[in-house]
Structure 1
Amino acid sequence: MTTTLYGIRNCDTCRKALRWLEAAGLSVTFHDFRRDGVPAGRLQEWLRTLGVDEVLNRRSATWRKLDAAQKQRAEEDPAAMLREHPNLIRRPVLEHGDTLCTGFRESAWREILGKDAP
C-alpha cells in the first residue's frame, strides 16, 4: 500500500509525522509543497473528499496576514488560493491507500494505519 505525506519539509508537525511514520516501519514518499508544488489534481480530490473546512487552515499565520479581499477569494476559489499559498493547506496531508486525512493526530493515524503503528 502506498503512503504519501504532503507538507513542508521544515514544518515541525510534518517532521514529527514523518518520524512517527518511519517508526511505524512504513515506507513513505514525502511531497514538499515548496519544492514540488501543490499537485492540482490531488488538491481538487482533497477538497472534494474532505471539504474546504478540513483543507483550508484558517488558523494559520498566513491566513491571518491575508487581507479581506484575499480571504474572500479563498472562500470563492479555494483551490487557486491554496496553490498560490500552500501554507494555507492544513498540514500534513496523509494519503494511505484510499484513506485521506489532514493534520497529525496520533489516535486517528493509529486507526488508519492499523496496529503496526507505534
Structure 2
Amino acid sequence: MIVYGIKSCDTVKKSTEWLKGHNLQFEFHDYKSKGISEEKLREWTSQVSWEVLVNKKGTTWKKLDESVKSNIIDEASAVELMKDHTSLIKRPVIEDNGRVLAVGFNEKEYAAKLT
C-alpha cells in the first residue's frame, strides 16, 4: 500500500496514524519532495473523478488567480494543474497495486476498505 501526500499535512498525519494503529504496512510518497508524474495522476483520474482529486477547499486553490481556476474544466486541465501544484491534490491518496482505495481521511471508509 502506498500513501501519497505531504508530510506536514494534518490530514495525512491522521491517516498514517490510523494505518499504524491498525497495523497496516504502507510506504509513504511525499509528492512535495518527490513530485508526482502525469501518468500517475491520469491513473488516479481514470478511477476517481478529477473533481474529487482537486482540493478546492485548501489555501493553494484559494490563492490561485481566478483565470487559472476558471480554466480547470476537465481531466486534462486538472491533471496539468495538479502536476504543477501538488498541494492542490486532495490528500492523502491511498492506493494498492495501482488501485485507488481512498482519497482523504474517513475512518469508516478506511475500516471498510483497508482492514
TM-score with structure 1 length normalisation?
A: 0.88
Q: Quick one: distance in 2 between partners of 1:18 and 1:40?
A: 25
Give the CA deviation at 1:58: 0.9
Q: Quick one: distance in 2 between partners of 1:110 and 1:79?
A: 29
Q: Quick one: distance in 2 between partners of 1:16 and 1:39?
A: 25
Query: For the aligned residues, what is the CA RMSD?
Result: 1.3
Q: Which of 18, 22, 46 does residue 48 from structure 1 map onto?
A: 46
Write the letter of the residue equivalent to 1:23: G
TM-score with structure 2 length normalisation?
A: 0.90
Write the letter of the residue equivalent to 2:83: R
User: Is 1:113 paired with 2:114?
Assistant: yes
Aligned 1:57-96 pairs, distance under 5 A: 57-76=55-74, 77-96=77-96
Q: Quick one: distance in 2 between partners of 1:88 and 1:61?
A: 9
Aligned 1:28-47 pairs, distance under 5 A: 28-47=26-45
Write the letter of the residue equivalent to 1:84: D
> Sequence identity of aligned pairs in percent?
32
Q: Number of aligned pairs?
A: 112
The question of whether the paired residues in 1 share the 8 Å contact of 2:93 and 2:100 is answered with no
- CA distances 1:22-45 after superposition (whole Å, capped 9, x unpaired): 111111100001111013222101
Give 5+ residue unaligned stretches, structure 1: none
Q: Secondary structure at the match of 2:70?
A: helix
- CA distances 1:34-71 after superposition (whole Å, capped 9, x unpaired): 11101322210111211111101111111111111111
